[in-house]
Amino acid sequence: MRQGARGIQSIEVSGRILRALVETCQPMMLKELALAADLAPAQCHAYLTSLRHVGLVHQNPSTGLYSTGSFAMRLGIGWLRSSPLVLEVSEEIKKLSDSLSVMSVLAAWSTGGPTIIQINASAWQSALNVRQGTTFSVTGTATGRIFAAFGESPEIETQIAAEFDRDTPPGSIGTILERAEFEAQLETTREYGYAIAEGTPIPRTNAISVPIFDAEGTLQFAAGLIGPDERLPVSHGSPAQVGLLELSELMRKRIRSGGIAETHDAQLTERS
């Protein structure tokens, strides 16, 4: 929409509410949300009711707190999947996963942990409860440890603390480790540039994941492979390990050379 053009005020107000929920990164009380969106509580409640009806906002029935809804996640995933960087990574990792006959996933950070935004399925996938929108734990999966090792968002440490809180019910795939074991694995991940999971959290299933950085070296995604242990060895020097590290480095070089527009905004700027 061109600058100065007339818009629909109710949509713009709804946008303020959604922005407040996203930027806060935690469930909010009505009073807090109204203050953040610069609305009277009664007015904010009316908007929240409509946003709940379309799935953009969720209200916890026990606490009454508000958070982003499932449809908001689907919108975000849809936006990410069409970004130039995701399209490029998805194409390259599909080649690798097809050559190994295993499943590949691309995950981005979302509320509650790393969330699958792109998946290249295999016939073997039917045995797993993994699909677009699935959230992995930070502490108990290879994908999660990539974000823990290389991510800079304070949300990641908050999520790690929540997962080590034994009173927090699990809401994602993964096996919680002891803190010392987890920290040791993070050191190994940083040293070698990839994370692995062998036979856990799913028996006889291996996984390996690498970071995908932007031009400034900031973690954007985790790209990984998942498959049965006999088909997907993840030891040093294995085809999966070598292939994923080459993929990570290839993406870094292409971004730095300007061969990939990192975001939709960058792509639009190039065309204007």
pLDDT for res 251: 93
pLDDT for res 261: 59
Residue 113 near residue 160, CB atoms below 8 Å = no
Listed in order, strand segments (DSSP E) in 152-236 are: 195-198, 205-213, 219-228
What is the reported pTM? Answer: 0.74
Residue/partner pairs of 63-66 with CB below 8 Å, 24 or more apart: 63/27, 64/29, 64/30, 65/27, 65/28, 65/29, 66/21, 66/27, 66/28, 66/29, 66/30, 66/33
How many structural domains are present in the chain? Answer: 2
Residue for token pair 């950070």: 109
pLDDT for res 209: 98
CA distances from 115 to 83, 124, 203 (A): 16, 20, 21
CA distances from 64 to 21, 45, 54, 113 (A): 14, 12, 18, 22
Domain of residue 134, residue span: 74-265
Q: For residue 272, tell me if it sits in a domain.
A: no
Asked if 43 and 155 sit in the same domain, the reply is no
User: Residue type at 189?
Assistant: T
pLDDT for res 26: 78
Sequence-ordered list of residues with C-beta below 8 angstroms from that of 247, at least 6 positions apart, any chain: 89, 92, 93, 96, 210, 223
Asked if 237 and 142 sit in the same domain, the reply is yes
On the question of pLDDT at 264 being above 80, the answer is no
- What tokens does 131 get? 């699909």
pLDDT tens for each residue of 113-148: 899 999 988 665 555 778 888 889 999 999 999 999
Give the mean pLDDT of 34-50.
94
Asked if 63 and 153 sit in the same domain, the reply is no
Asked if 56 and 162 sit in the same domain, the reply is no
Asked if 95 and 160 sit in the same domain, the reply is yes
Phi-psi region of 84 (alpha: psi -120 to 50; beta: other; left: phi over 0): alpha
Residue 86 near residue 106, CB atoms below 8 Å = yes
Dist. CA 192–CA 52, nearest whole Å: 44
Identify the residue with better confidence: 125 or 221: 221
Asked if 117 and 242 sit in the same domain, the reply is yes
Dist. CA 123–CA 139, nearest whole Å: 28
Asked if 79 and 48 sit in the same domain, the reply is no
**For residue 93, how many other CB atoms are within 10 A of its CB?**
24
pLDDT for res 270: 38
pLDDT for res 104: 95
pLDDT tens for each residue of 53-108: 999 999 999 899 998 887 877 777 777 767 888 889 999 999 999 999 999 999 99
pLDDT tens for each residue of 139-173: 999 999 999 999 988 889 988 988 888 655 455 56
